[in-house]
């Protein structure tokens, strides 16, 4: 098959492209390069520069490259920004998906994998979040992801398109330094940033009902996440008309304080954190149940927290050599 990977020049997208090609699948990247980097696209993989809102451009790419499956990762993803600019998020994330699906169904593409998020769950009050946990997103970003799932599933029912919605938990790490996340919005790079500024990392609240009082989250290595896409893509190929909704996590929680301690150990900075007040809307614990994907696809995460921090730090230092400790 030939897979069109929207957002394939981004952090996660580049890892999905790499995993797909290493698995013997043919990949084509479709990216507007607003956040992606052209140099992340491997040699031999075509790059089509365009927006998912441009239906004609999408249709041409599908036809010219004889695409038989799509992995859709292109989206805006900053929770805070989505609160300030909801119309932008609904346009890019929902309307862009609608336009893409219209082109996909017109071209009779067989399979569609949608990049969703654990943000669809909102503030789950459960020990492990299963795919059956009620969805109650707390931000326009999470709303657009849930609306995207509905749109994908409805299109599949109406047309026979094989679909999957993958709910990512906290993604970290890198397959190689040059593929590392260049953004500073998730916990690990935020801690890296503070350490290299000679400032203490911040903990937002230490009075949660958790073992050490700080929030607990589930982290997944981006390489494992990418391999989950390959497993999902192949499952859709093997079962036409299927509709999957799957969590992508390790099923293990790590607290913010524990993560900062581990980051200090890997980087060699050993800078104690400072505690500030809670951020509104932060749930105490969000940890995935990874049972369904293990049962249905035979996929299991292989990388641990140490792998995530070490590879992320190598990427950080690759971009900022001055951050390295002597």
Rounded distance, CA 193 to CA 181, Å?
Answer: 13
Q: Are residues 200 and 105 in the same domain?
A: no
Answer whether 54's CB lies under 8 Å from 74's CB.
no
Rounded distance, CA 1 to CA 11, Å?
Answer: 23
Q: Is residue 310 classed as helix, strand or coil in its secondary structure?
A: helix
Q: Are residues 130 and 202 in the same domain?
A: no
Instruction: Tell me the pLDDT of the chain (326 aa) as tens digits.
Output: 899 999 999 999 999 999 999 999 999 999 999 999 999 999 999 999 999 999 999 999 999 999 999 999 999 999 889 999 999 999 999 999 999 999 999 999 999 999 999 999 999 989 999 999 999 999 999 999 999 999 999 999 999 999 999 999 999 999 999 999 988 888 999 999 999 999 999 999 999 999 999 999 999 999 999 999 999 999 999 999 999 999 999 999 999 999 999 999 999 998 999 999 998 878 899 999 999 999 999 999 999 999 999 999 999 999 888 888 75
Rounded distance, CA 257 to CA 34, Å?
Answer: 34
Q: Are residues 142 and 155 in the same domain?
A: yes
pLDDT at position 310, please? Answer: 97
Cα–Cα nearest to 223, from 35, 22, 27: 22
Host domain of residue 150? 2-171+220-248
305 phi/psi in degrees, rounded to 5: -60, -40
Rounded distance, CA 83 to CA 139, Å?
Answer: 6
The whole-model pTM stands at: 0.96
Total domains, the chain: 2
User: How big is the CA angle at 321 (ends 220 and 271), to the nearest 5 degrees?
Assistant: 65
List, by residue number, the catalytic residues: 141
Q: pLDDT by residue (tens digit) across 227-269? A: 999 999 999 999 999 999 999 999 999 999 999 999 999 999 9
Q: Work out the number of other CB atoms within 10 angstroms of the CB of residue 324.
A: 14
Q: Are residues 49 and 107 in the same domain?
A: yes
Q: Are residues 9 and 130 in the same domain?
A: yes
Q: Are residues 281 and 318 in the same domain?
A: yes
Q: Are residues 141 and 239 in the same domain?
A: yes
Token duo for residue 210: 């958790």
Q: Are residues 160 and 86 in the same domain?
A: yes
Q: pLDDT by residue (tens digit) across 117-148? A: 999 999 998 999 999 999 999 999 999 999 99
Rounded distance, CA 148 to CA 61, Å?
Answer: 22
The answer for 167, left when phi > 0, alpha when psi is -120 to 50, beta otherwise, is beta
Which single residue is written with the structure tokens 């020990």?
127
CATH number at residue 136: 3.40.50.720
Q: Which whole-number Å values give the CA distances from 317 to 173, 196, 216, in the listed order?
A: 13, 10, 27
Q: Are residues 213 and 227 in the same domain?
A: no
Q: Are residues 167 and 269 in the same domain?
A: no
Rounded distance, CA 179 to CA 23, Å?
Answer: 18
pLDDT at position 323, please? Answer: 81
Rounded distance, CA 323 to CA 313, Å?
Answer: 9
Q: Are residues 233 and 99 in the same domain?
A: yes
Q: Are residues 194 and 232 in the same domain?
A: no
Radius of gyration over every alpha carbon of the chain, rounded to an integer in angstroms: 19
**Residues β-bridged to residue 100:** none
CATH number at residue 203: 3.90.25.10
Answer whether 187's CB lies under 8 Å from 223's CB.
no
Answer whether 235's CB lies under 8 Å from 164's CB.
yes
């Amino acid at each position: 098959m030939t897979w069109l990977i929207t957002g394939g020049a981004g952090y996660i997208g580049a890892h999905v492209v790499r995993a797909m090609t290493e698995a013997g699948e043919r990949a084509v990247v479709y990216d507007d390069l607003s956040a992606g980097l052209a140099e992340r696209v491997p040699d031999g993989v075509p790059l089509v520069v365009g927006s998912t809102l441009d239906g004609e451009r999408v249709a041409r790419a599908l036809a010219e490259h004889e695409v038989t499956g799509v992995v859709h990762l292109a989206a805006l993803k900053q929770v805070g920004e989505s609160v300030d600019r909801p119309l932008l998020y609904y346009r890019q994330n929902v309307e862009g998906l609608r336009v893409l699906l219209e082109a996909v169904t017109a071209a009779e593409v067989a399979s569609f994998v949608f990049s969703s998020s654990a943000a669809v769950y909102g503030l789950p009050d459960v020990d492990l979040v299963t795919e059956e946990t009620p969805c109650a997103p707390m931000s326009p970003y999470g709303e657009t992801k849930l609306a995207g799932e509905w749109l994908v599933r409805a299109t599949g029912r109406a047309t026979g398109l094989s679909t999957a919605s993958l709910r990512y938990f906290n993604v970290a790490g890198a397959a190689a330094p040059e593929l590392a996340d260049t953004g500073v919005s998730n916990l690990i790079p935020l801690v890296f940033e503070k350490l290299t500024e000679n400032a203490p990392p911040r903990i937002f609240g230490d009075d949660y009902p958790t073992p050490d009082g700080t929030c607990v989250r589930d982290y997944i290595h981006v390489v494992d996440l990418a391999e989950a896409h390959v497993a999902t893509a192949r499952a859709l190929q093997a079962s036409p008309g299927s509709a999957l909704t799957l969590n992508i996590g390790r099923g293990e929680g790590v607290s913010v304080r524990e993560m900062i301690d581990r980051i200090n150990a890997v980087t060699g900075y050993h800078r104690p954190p400072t505690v500030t007040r809670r951020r509104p809307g932060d749930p105490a614990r969000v940890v995935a149940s990874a049972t369904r994907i293990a049962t249905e696809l035979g996929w299991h995460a292989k990388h641990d927290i140490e792998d995530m921090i070490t590879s992320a730090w190598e990427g950080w230092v690759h971009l900022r050599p001055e951050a390295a400790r002597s």
